[in-house]
Chain A
Amino acid sequence: MDGSADVDAVDGDLWRRAARGDSVAFGVLFERHVDTVYTHCFRRTASWSDAEDLVSVVFLEAWRRCSEVGLDGGSVPPWLLAVANNVLRNHDRSVRRNRRLVAKLSVLDRRRDEIGDLTERLGDEQRMRGVLAVVEQLPEAEQDVLALCAWAGLSYADAAEALGVPIGTVRSRLSRARADLHRRTADPAPSAPRMTKGDTHR
């Protein structure tokens, strides 16, 4: 198969070829979905640097397991994000392990990206830490639904597939999460003037 056909191939075909060890097919899937995984990992960690490490862990785990998972007409992102959610539960350990591997492998490229938008990236991290400080007060299951539907833009059906729950559960968790977040982040209503000690009504 020539390279242009690889680029046009649907996820399911590439997935089956990757499961047989075809690194070209896996490379096309990687290029196609890496930014989705990268951004998802950033939004759950508020660290671009950790997100880079987690991308490797997620795709490695995905490739290890792709022979076990059939994608009958399905798309890859829900499954990748499900793997990412599992990896993120052991986020610190995954990042440490990946950094040890990178340090050990002598064939890896050591070139660093010239980050022209460093200030903006630092701003992203600060903003995301503020968001996570609120979101992490939600139950973990609601955080997962919020990240998949509201942030990654998955449909209810895709999120249900990723989480292994019925669509109705996704809907209700998202609705609860949004209502809860609205309560937590809404400007507090102006409170009635309180009397302090010594105040008297005349």
Chain B
Amino acid sequence: MIDIEDVPGRSMPPAARARSLQLVTVIHHGERRRRRQRRSFGVAAVLATTVAATTGGVAVADHLLKPAPVTNKGMAHCSAVAKLSSGNTYAGPEIAFAPANGNGPVPIQNAIAACSLPWRDGILRAGSTRQHTPDGKTHPVPHLVGCTLMDGSAAVFPGNAETCQRLGLPPIAN
């Protein structure tokens, strides 16, 4: 006999869960951005017909994800490629600073500065997903941007002001 009230239940597997949240975030913010642009274009059109001289001054606002603070400062994720490995978690190299007294990691106050070090030493190289062996030379550091992952840690990528948004992540709040 079937027990109608005894039905299975489980947790959603982690990668599927992360992908789902990332998908929802990317789509939702894309929709919000398009709505804001449509509204801005509408305002511009009305102004153009009434006060022609002002149309050039109507800026199209671009909605960005609200910056989020880094709350997990024990390490930072430094990546040479602006791409997520696991939803809004990041499975690439991590950087942490050990103190001289050996009492746990030193908080990373500036993730971008911390991640510029492996770039400078040639451990991270543009477009390469693997970590290279330092060659003793000083390498150029590209423009880096910091985003906040769901676990509150920082992820630093080469890119520009739109990189975090494209990845569906909030930029790091100052």
Also in contact, A128 and B23, with CB within 8 A (given A27-B150, A109-B87): no
The residues of B that contact A109 with a CB separation of less than 8 Å are 15, 18-19, 22, 84-87
Also in contact, A42 and B8, with CB within 8 A (given A107-B166, A109-B85, A113-B14): yes
The residues of A that contact B8 with a CB separation of less than 8 Å are 39, 42-43, 124, 127-128
Q: Does B66 contact A (CB under 8 A)?
A: yes
Distance between Cα atoms of A85 and B98 in the complex (Å): 51
Quick check: B86 and A60 within 8 Å, CB to CB? no
Distance between Cα atoms of A30 and B18 in the complex (Å): 10
Quick check: A38 and B5 within 8 Å, CB to CB? no
- B interface vs A, CB < 8 Å? 1-2, 4-5, 7-29, 31-32, 63, 65-66, 68-69, 71-72, 83-88, 91, 148, 150, 152, 166-168, 170
The residues of B that contact A150 with a CB separation of less than 8 Å are 4-5
Quick check: A107 and B13 within 8 Å, CB to CB? no
Quick check: B16 and A52 within 8 Å, CB to CB? yes
Shortest A23–chain B CB gap in Å is 5
Q: Does A140 contact B (CB under 8 A)?
A: no
How many residue pairs link A and B with beta carbons under 8 A? The number is 145
Quick check: A134 and B2 within 8 Å, CB to CB? yes
Also in contact, A64 and B31, with CB within 8 A (given A38-B11, A135-B4): yes
Kindly list the 10 A-B residue pairs having the minimum CB-CB distance in the complex, ordered from nearest: A3-B71, A113-B13, A124-B8, A3-B152, A39-B9, A38-B12, A113-B15, A56-B20, A24-B68, A111-B15
Q: Which of B17, B88, B148 contacts A34 (CB 8 A)?
A: B17
Quick check: B23 and A134 within 8 Å, CB to CB? no
Quick check: A113 and B66 within 8 Å, CB to CB? no
29 of the cross-chain contacts (CB-CB < 8 Å) are A4-B71, A23-B168, A24-B68, A26-B24, A30-B21, A34-B21, A39-B9, A39-B10, A43-B7, A43-B8, A51-B12, A55-B20, A56-B24, A60-B23, A63-B28, A64-B31, A102-B23, A105-B23, A109-B19, A109-B85, A109-B87, A111-B19, A111-B86, A113-B15, A124-B8, A128-B7, A131-B2, A131-B7, A146-B4
- A interface vs B, CB < 8 Å? 1-4, 21-24, 26-27, 30-31, 34-35, 38-39, 42-43, 48, 51-52, 55-56, 59-60, 63-64, 98, 101-102, 105, 107-109, 111-113, 115, 121, 124, 127-128, 130-131, 134-135, 146, 150-151, 181, 185-187
Distance between Cα atoms of A134 and B2 in the complex (Å): 9
Q: Is the interface of A mostly helix, strand, loop or mixed?
A: helix
Quick check: A23 and B170 within 8 Å, CB to CB? yes
Distance between Cα atoms of A187 and B1 in the complex (Å): 7
- With most chain B CB atoms within 10 A of its CB, the pick from A2, A55, A186 is A55
Q: Is the interface of B mostly helix, strand, loop or mixed?
A: loop
Beta-carbon nearest neighbor of B150 in chain A: A27
Beta-carbon nearest neighbor of B168 in chain A: A107
Beta-carbon nearest neighbor of B90 in chain A: A109
Distance between Cα atoms of A151 and B26 in the complex (Å): 32
Shortest A50–chain B CB gap in Å is 12
Distance between Cα atoms of A21 and B84 in the complex (Å): 21
